[in-house]
């Protein structure tokens, strides 16, 4: 009951946040004169040929994620690429349907099908998030450095370049931190736990569990081949993800089609920040982040920006949902069964940890 209550409270909070954003936007002159006819013209004028390329790239992104998981899992087991691909699709399908709580489905499904421990798959999930965070920081740094926005003053251009340099340094520091933690895991973990001993017991226990999962994930990268393979696949993955955004903009013509690739990278970064506030089956934060980036940073018309946000959501979520439902039918599963698998694996992991 408490779990369901927390979920509903979170959904209400998310809905309020998204509602407040749209309420504040509606007060601006551009949004008060919003034209639904212009929005429909933007969407109906999309070029289908480019959208087919986008569809292919979206499925390619799930393959790249599966390929990267194979590198992460190599010290444990040489996993089937088919199982890993199905796990990625089913995992993201669950997120689209039930929100962030569906994230546990991906490691649970792979752990069940490959007969490996749930704790090791959770470690892979944590490691994947760190890789993706660093990739997003690099994208943000590149988009600032290469100036997708034309600054009005020389001072503005200097700020953008300096911001790009700072973000590149931030990514470098993150990478250096990973290397240090990989080499001196036990000592660094103990030092960090001593520094946060003042936290409440439950919070401290959660932080300690996260650190151990993170260190376990880093421990999976035991050779140069695995490190290079995971890094290269991450760079290719986020290049593909950015290209998906850019091609959607190209398909909509007009001012959106004139945006450079680095503008798509900055829009993707803003959309990723919006993932923190997602409504199951609807999304919300992701689209809002993209729309705000297009209107506030690149001065795109609200109708065109909204059309791009809607089309991005359709092109990213619908292919995953369609293939995910096919896989569910093929394996005789339902979203409820996937959640049950996840809960069973979590309970088993908790029992082993307590022991």
Distance CA 61, CA 314 (A): 16
Over residues 293-312, mean pLDDT = 86
294 has a pLDDT exceeding 50: yes
Cα distance between residue 77 and residue 75, in whole Å: 6
3-state secondary structure 81-127: HHHHHHHHHHHHHHHHHHCHHHHHHHHHHHHHHHCCCHHHHHHHHHH
Tell me the range of 32-36, 170-174, 243-247, 279-283 where mean pLDDT is highest: 243-247
For the ranges 27-31, 253-257, 342-346, the maximum mean pLDDT occurs at: 253-257
Within 10 angstroms of residue 254's Cβ, the number of other Cβ atoms is 15
Give a yes or no: residue 17 inside a domain. Answer: no
In Å, what is the CA distance from 199 to each residue of 62, 185, 190, 214, 290?
Answer: 38, 21, 15, 20, 36
**115 occurs within a structural domain:** yes
Q: Which residues contact 67 (CB under 8 A, 6 or more apart)?
A: 81, 84, 233
pLDDT tens column, 209-255: 777 766 766 666 666 777 788 889 999 999 999 999 999 999 997 78
First-to-last CA distance in the chain? 26
The total of structural domains in the chain comes to 1
Let me know: does 46 contact 311? Beta carbons within 8 Å: yes
Q: Are 147 and 240 within 8 A, CB to CB?
A: no
What are the CB-based long-range contacts (under 8 Å, 24+) for 292-301?
292/21, 293/266, 293/267, 293/269, 294/256, 294/267, 295/30, 297/149, 297/266, 297/267, 297/270, 298/148, 298/149, 298/259, 298/263, 298/267, 300/255, 300/256, 300/259, 301/30, 301/38, 301/255
Which range of residues forms the domain containing residue 140?
61-354
pLDDT at 227: 76
Q: How confident is the model at residue 143 (pLDDT cuts 50, 70, 90)?
A: confident
Amino acid 211: pLDDT: 74
pLDDT of 267 over the 70 cut: yes
Q: Is residue 125 part of a domain?
A: yes
Tell me, yes or no, whether 224 lies in a domain. yes
Q: What is the mean pLDDT of residues 58-87?
A: 91
Q: What is the dihedral of CA 115, 118, 123, 125, to 10 degrees?
A: 90
Kindly state whether residue 218 falls inside one of the protein's structural domains: yes
Residue 288 lies in a domain: yes
Mean pLDDT, rounded, of the chain: 77
Asked if the model's pLDDT at residue 169 lies above 60, the reply is: yes
- Is the predicted pLDDT of residue 4 greater than 60, yes or no? no
Average pLDDT over residues 77-82: 89
Q: Model confidence over 39-63: pLDDT tens digits?
A: 777 777 889 999 999 999 999 999 9
The pLDDT of residue 149 is above 60:
yes
In this prediction, residue 151 has a pLDDT band, given cuts at 50, 70 and 90, of low
CB contact set of 151 (below 8 Å; sequence gap of 6+) = 157, 159, 160
Domain assignment of residue 171, yes or no: yes
Above 70 in pLDDT, residue 177? yes
Give the Cα separation of 274 and 1 in Å (integer). 28
How does residue 83 score in pLDDT terms, banded at 50, 70 and 90? very high
**Confidence at residue 270, expressed as pLDDT on a 0 to 100 scale:** 86
Percent of the chain whose predicted confidence (pLDDT) is above 70: 69
pLDDT at 172 over 90: no
Q: How many degrees, rounded to 5, is the angle at CA 312 between CA 330 and CA 39?
A: 130
Kindly report the CA angle at 85 between 311 and 218, in degrees rounded to 5?
105
Residue 56 lies in a domain: no
pTM (2 d.p.)? 0.77
For residues 349 and 333, which has the higher predicted lDDT (pLDDT)?
Answer: 333
Percentage of the chain beyond pLDDT 90 is 19
Where is pLDDT greater, at 246 or 278? 246
The reported pLDDT for the residue numbered 194 is 82
């Amino acid at each position: 009951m408490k779990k369901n209550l927390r979920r509903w409270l979170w959904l209400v909070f998310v809905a309020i946040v998204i509602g407040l954003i749209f309420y504040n936007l509606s007060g601006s002159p551009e949004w008060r004169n919003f034209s639904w006819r212009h929005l429909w013209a933007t969407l109906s004028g999309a070029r289908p040929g480019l959208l087919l390329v986008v569809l292919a790239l979206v499925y390619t992104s799930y393959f790249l994620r599966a390929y990267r998981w194979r590198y992460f899992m190599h010290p444990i087991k040489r996993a089937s690429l088919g199982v890993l691909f199905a796990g990625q699709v089913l995992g993201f399908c669950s997120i689209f349907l039930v929100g962030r709580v569906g994230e546990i489905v991906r490691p649970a499904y792979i752990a069940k099908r490959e007969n490996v421990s749930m704790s090791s798959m959770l470690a892979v999930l944590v490691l994947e998030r760190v890789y993706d965070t660093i990739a997003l920081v690099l994208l943000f740094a590149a988009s600032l450095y290469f100036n997708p926005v034309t600054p009005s003053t020389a001072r503005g251009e200097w700020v953008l370049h300096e911001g790009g340099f700072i973000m590149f340094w931030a990514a470098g520091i993150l990478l250096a931190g990973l290397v240090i933690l990989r080499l001196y895991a036990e000592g660094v973990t103990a030092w960090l736990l001593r520094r946060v001993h003042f936290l409440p017991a439950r919070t401290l226990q959660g932080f300690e569990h996260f650190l151990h999962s993170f260190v376990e994930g880093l421990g999976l990268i035991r050779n140069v081949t695995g490190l290079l393979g995971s890094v290269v696949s991450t760079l290719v993955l986020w290049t593909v993800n950015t290209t998906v955004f850019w091609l959607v903009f190209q398909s909509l013509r007009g001012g959106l089609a004139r945006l450079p690739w680095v503008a798509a990278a900055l829009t993707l970064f803003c959309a990723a920040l919006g993932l923190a506030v997602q409504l199951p089956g609807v999304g919300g934060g992701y689209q809002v982040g993209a729309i705000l980036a297009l209107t506030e940073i690149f001065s795109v018309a609200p109708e065109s920006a909204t059309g791009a946000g809607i089309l991005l959501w359709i092109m990213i979520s619908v292919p995953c949902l369609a293939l995910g439902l096919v896989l569910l039918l093929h394996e005789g599963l339902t979203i409820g069964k996937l959640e049950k698998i996840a809960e069973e694996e979590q309970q088993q992991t908790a029992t082993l940890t307590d022991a």
